[in-house]
Amino acid sequence: MLISIFDLAGGKSILTGSLPGRKVLADLIAAVQPEASGEIVFLDFAGVEVATSSFLRECVVGFRDFARSGQANLYPVVTNAGPSVIEELDYFARQRGDVFWSCTRDHDGALAEIKLVGELEPVLRTTFEHIKRLGEATAPQLAALGEDEGIKPTAWNNRLASLAAKGVVVEHRVGKTKNFMPLLEVG
């Protein structure tokens, strides 16, 4: 699913303030179909030159919080954002110890320049690196690796759940076990 932030913002290329951010958030939520559960929602910033932290907080973070709630179960990805928007999102995310997926997407839907914007705290970064290396992982598998001695499956599960809440990884339930894999392939 691809949703144009430029269009939702009324064709404005400079997006500032929390009130306009909340307005776009409301329109984003309205644009998402209830049956879209488990889908990636590309927040398309093509045409947007500037977006302030207050706008991004209300719009992007607000939508991510909605999207990752138990009801929605969507995966937001910022796409086609220019350098100034990415810089502002990166600065804002780092201040919060947060991350967001970012990429470019062409007319055919091909993705490029896939990256995490912001910074994961070291414990979550290490967990994410393990998942990337393995391709898919469970808490018991990570505990069995023995690379991070003394960390029990419950602690791994908490870390994996934190990554899933941020939309960094996808969670699949197989019986009683939860498998986690990166949302996007990152180089």
Tens digit of each residue's pLDDT (9 = 90 or more) over 118-165:
998 888 998 888 888 888 888 888 888 766 667 787 888 889 888 888
pLDDT digits (tens, 9 = 90+) for 93-109: 998 889 999 999 998 88
Over 80: is that where the pLDDT of 71 sits?
no
pLDDT (mean) for 8-15: 93
The pTM (predicted TM-score) of the whole model is 0.86
pLDDT digits (tens, 9 = 90+) for 19-65: 999 999 999 988 887 666 678 889 999 999 999 999 999 999 999 88
Q: Choose among 22, 29, 167, 15: nearest CA to 81.
A: 15
pLDDT (mean) for 108-115: 90
Over 80: is that where the pLDDT of 186 sits?
no
pLDDT (mean) for 2-10: 93
Q: What is the pLDDT of residue 187?
A: 54
Q: What is the pLDDT of residue 143?
A: 82
Q: What is the pLDDT of residue 147?
A: 65
- Of the CATH numbers 1.25.40.10, 2.102.10.10, 1.10.10.10, 1.10.1040.10, which one belongs to the domain with range 122-182? 1.10.10.10
What's the token pair of residue 109?
Answer: 């839907």
**Helix and strand element counts for the chain (H, E):** 8, 9
State the span(s) of the chain assigned CATH 1.10.10.10: 122-182
Contact 108, 132 (CB under 8 A): no
State the span(s) of the chain assigned CATH 3.30.750: 2-118
Q: What is the pLDDT of residue 66?
A: 87
Cα 167 to Cα 108: distance, rounded to the nearest angstrom:
24
Q: How many residues does the chain have?
A: 187
Cα 80 to Cα 69: distance, rounded to the nearest angstrom:
25
Does 3.30.750 match the CATH number of domain 2-118?
yes
Over 80: is that where the pLDDT of 70 sits?
no
